[in-house]
Amino acid sequence: MDAVLAEIEKIKIVPVVKIDNAENAVALAEALLAGGLPCAEITFRTDAAEESIRRISKLDNFLVGAGTVLSVETAKKAVAAGAKFIVSPGFNPKVAAYCVENNITITPGTCTPSDIEAALDLGLDILKFFPAEAMGGLKTLKAISAPYTMVRFIPTGGINAGNVGEYLKFPGVFACGGSWMVKADYINSGDFAKITALTKEAMQIVS
């Protein structure tokens, strides 16, 4: 296991962040740090993603990655900006292969046995399970993972303070992705104290 994944396993939660204004990026990261969570996945759902990653990557002791990476071009931009890991919502063969060939940590999205087997063919065994709750939640994850005991998952989508603890109890779960503590409304309004409070609560649940 590479160093980035080892760190994510220790942290247990990866905040999935949509940032509309890069000016808020460092304050967001500092709010997460204050809550005891030194990690964030900045999604390429806005034009501010690349610059946000660049700014956060300059902070000490903070692990920043890129999410919603839908193309090799975006993966290249993310890594150049300082992203230490790549996350995609689905299994994109080109993106996954590019990251593997260039020793870039990637957890591609999967939700079917075919996705899982395509990932295994590339040597990937830590995979995103998305959209977790919409696909049937922990019950589906347990069923789909049964034939693949060599794989562990990062469920994302519908994960919150009420269910993250149950997900993490399942040995097939590596970590969880969630956005409940980093909602865009909190970031846009500058309510970083709220983010810190929710992050502290989340870390107490998973500790």
Domain spans of the chain, in order of start: 3-206
The rounded distance, in Å, linking the Cα atoms of 18 and 90 is: 18
| Residue position matching structure tokens 């290249």 | 76
Binned at pLDDT 50, 70 and 90, residue 2 comes out as very high
Does residue 207 register a pLDDT over 90?
no
CA distance 50 to 172: 32
What interhelical angle do 49-56 and 25-34 show, nearest 10? 50
Contact 40, 182 (CB under 8 A): yes
Question: Using one digit for the tens of pLDDT, what is the confidence trace for 176-201?
Answer: 999 999 999 999 999 999 999 999 99
Residues that are catalytic:
41, 128
Q: How far apart are CA 75 and CA 123, in angstroms?
A: 19
Model confidence pLDDT, tens digit, residues 101-142: 999 999 999 999 999 999 999 999 999 999 999 999 999 999
Fold observed for domain 3-206: TIM Barrel (3.20.20)
- pLDDT (tens digit, 9 = 90+) per residue, 42-88? 999 999 999 999 999 999 999 999 999 999 999 999 999 999 999 99
pTM of the shown model:
0.97
Look-up of token digits 């808020």: 24
Three-state secondary structure call for residue 149: coil
